[in-house]
């Protein structure tokens, strides 16, 4: 790995009590270029702009995918990643679906650890705080030709993160728009998936909602995801979540919630969720909770569901009564080294002295 440490660190300008998630970037980034059928050497360089033109194929034809993950700092200042091997597996799954070259585990994990290590001062301590990390792959060839590109870049950037939603949100159950279709790229973290979701979400916001629960494209009778999150439903004391498919993303937080629920002895069923069953449960009082999970948000509890012009209010449970909050606390305590890690999910990032190139 080629390492070029910045000579102008911005860490002195970073206020961990006052920053904007997604707009504040750490001092360094990882880049690696693909050309002539192979990946070059991974480089750790100062964060900054790259030279591209409007003819870059990733912009014109959408060959771009990414991951979302976090690094956490415990009370002693130790830094941990969380299940990074799952993100490595998934970014290659996405790259393959978009006809892009896969990266090696060494590129991904070594680059990740080097970036987190050198920028560890950018990881804010405290409840709900972390360093959000964005690995991505995109086509960089300069050509207006609708074909697979010949040049790509693998990159990793990072931004300090804090709690995404501080209050429960209202969501609209979609009965027209869908996030993904059979045979499509729903199971990949393709950049275009997010672009396609913005307009329906904008319409929902104009109706007074914060997000959307996406339903299946064929019938709109089944829950799939919620916004950029996997979705969970609790009826009485049973938790339901849809199975992953070529339309539903295999979320790392989703899988972690499932395993933590089983560890606690909660009944959890991984099966299709019918919209009508959720609406009926809300009407008869057996619907206890609906929530979304994802890397950025961890957990977002819903306070109301919008469906066919009606706003269906959900119970306001205490933290002790809420399965969503209980499992969130279990996960956060594990990620931040407060509790034991029986799963082996936490990965310590050793503090090394990096040599500059």
Residues 17 and 111 in one domain: yes
How confident is residue 164, by pLDDT bands cut at 50, 70 and 90?
confident
Give residue 167's pLDDT.
Answer: 82
Domain containing 90 equals 2-162
Residues 145 and 175 in one domain: no
Residues 206 and 105 in one domain: no
Residues 230 and 179 in one domain: yes
Residues 134 and 238 in one domain: no
Domain of 113: which CATH number? 3.30.470.10
**In the predicted model, what is the mean pLDDT of residues 47-51?**
96
Asked whether the predicted pLDDT for residue 153 surpasses 80, the reply is yes
* Residue pLDDT, tens place only, 93-116: 999 999 999 999 999 999 999 999
| 192 within a domain of the structure (yes/no) | yes
Q: Report the DSSP pairing between strands 238-241 and 229-235.
A: antiparallel
Asked whether the predicted pLDDT for residue 350 surpasses 70, the reply is yes
Residues 22 and 114 in one domain: yes
Q: For all residues of the chain together, what is the average pLDDT?
A: 95
SS3 letters across the chain: CEECCCCCCCHHHCCCCCCCCCCCCCCEEEEEEEECCEECCCEEEECCCCCCCCCEHHHHHCCEEECCEEEEECCCCCEEEECHHHHHHHHHHHHHHCCCCCCCHHHHHHHHHHHHHHCHHHCCCCCCCEEEEEEEEEECCECCCCCCCCCEEEEEEEEEECCCCCCCEEEEECCCCCCCCCCCCCCCCEHHHHHHHHHHHHHHHHCCCCEEEEECCCCCCEEEEECCEEEEEEECCEEEECCCCCCCCCCHHHHHHHHHHHHHCCEEEECCCEHHHHHHHHHHCCEEEEEEEECCCEEEEEEEEEECCEEEECCCCCCCCCHHHHHHHHHHHHHCCCCCCCCCCEEECCCCCCCCC
Residues 215 and 291 in one domain: yes
Tally of structural domains, the chain: 2
| 224 within a domain of the structure (yes/no) | yes
| 354 within a domain of the structure (yes/no) | no
Asked whether the predicted pLDDT for residue 261 surpasses 60, the reply is yes
Residues 244 and 302 in one domain: yes
Asked whether the predicted pLDDT for residue 355 surpasses 60, the reply is no
Asked whether the predicted pLDDT for residue 119 surpasses 50, the reply is yes
Asked whether the predicted pLDDT for residue 357 surpasses 50, the reply is no
Give residue 354's pLDDT.
Answer: 60
| 348 within a domain of the structure (yes/no) | no
Give residue 157's pLDDT.
Answer: 98
* Residue pLDDT, tens place only, 301-346: 999 999 999 999 999 999 999 999 999 999 999 999 999 999 999 9
Q: What is the pTM of this model?
A: 0.95
Give residue 17's pLDDT.
Answer: 87
Asked whether the predicted pLDDT for residue 131 surpasses 80, the reply is yes
**In the predicted model, what is the mean pLDDT of residues 239-268?**
97
Higher per-residue pLDDT: 297 or 354: 297
Domain of 248: which CATH number? 3.20.10.10
Among 36-40, 79-83, 167-171, whose mean pLDDT is lowest? Answer: 167-171
Asked whether the predicted pLDDT for residue 353 surpasses 70, the reply is no
């Amino acid at each position: 790995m080629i390492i070029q440490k910045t000579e102008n660190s911005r860490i002195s300008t970073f206020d961990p009590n006052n920053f904007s998630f997604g707009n504040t970037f750490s001092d360094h980034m990882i880049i690696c270029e693909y050309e002539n059928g192979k990946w070059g050497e991974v480089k750790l360089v100062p964060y900054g702009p790259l030279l591209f033109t409007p003819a870059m194929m990733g912009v014109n034809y959408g060959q771009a995918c990414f991951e979302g993950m976090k690094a956490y700092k415990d009370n002693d200042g130790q830094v941990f990643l969380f299940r990074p091997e799952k993100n490595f597996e998934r970014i290659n799954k996405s790259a393959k679906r978009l006809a892009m070259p896969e990266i090696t585990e060494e590129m991904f994990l070594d680059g990740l650890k080097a970036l987190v290590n050198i920028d560890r001062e950018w990881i804010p301590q405290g409840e709900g705080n972390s360093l959000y990390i964005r690995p991505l792959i995109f086509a960089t060839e300069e050509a207006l030709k609708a074909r697979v590109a010949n040049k790509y870049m693998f990159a990793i950037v990072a931004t300090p993160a804090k709690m995404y939603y501080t209050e429960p949100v209202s969501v609209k159950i979609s009965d027209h728009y869908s996030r993904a279709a059979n045979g499509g790229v729903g199971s990949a973290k393709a950049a275009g998936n997010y672009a396609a979701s913005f307009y329906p979400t904008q319409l929902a916001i104009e109706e007074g909602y914060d997000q959307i629960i996406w339903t299946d494209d064929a019938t709109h009778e089944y829950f799939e995801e919620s916004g950029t999150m996997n979705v969970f439903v609790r009826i009485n004391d049973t938790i339901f979540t849809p199975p992953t498919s070529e339309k539903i993303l295999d979320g790392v937080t989703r899988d972690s919630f499932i395993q933590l629920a089983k560890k606690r002895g909660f009944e959890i069923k991984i099966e299709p969720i019918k919209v009508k069953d959720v609406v009926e449960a809300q009407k008869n009082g057996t619907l206890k909770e609906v929530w979304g999970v994802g890397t950025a948000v961890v957990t977002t509890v819903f306070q109301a569901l919008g469906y066919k012009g009606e706003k269906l209010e959900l119970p306001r449970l205490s933290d002790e009564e809420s399965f969503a909050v209980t499992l969130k606390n279990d996960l956060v305590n594990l990620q931040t080294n407060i509790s034991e890690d029986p799963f082996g999910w936490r990965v310590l990032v050793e503090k090394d002295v990096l040599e500059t190139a």
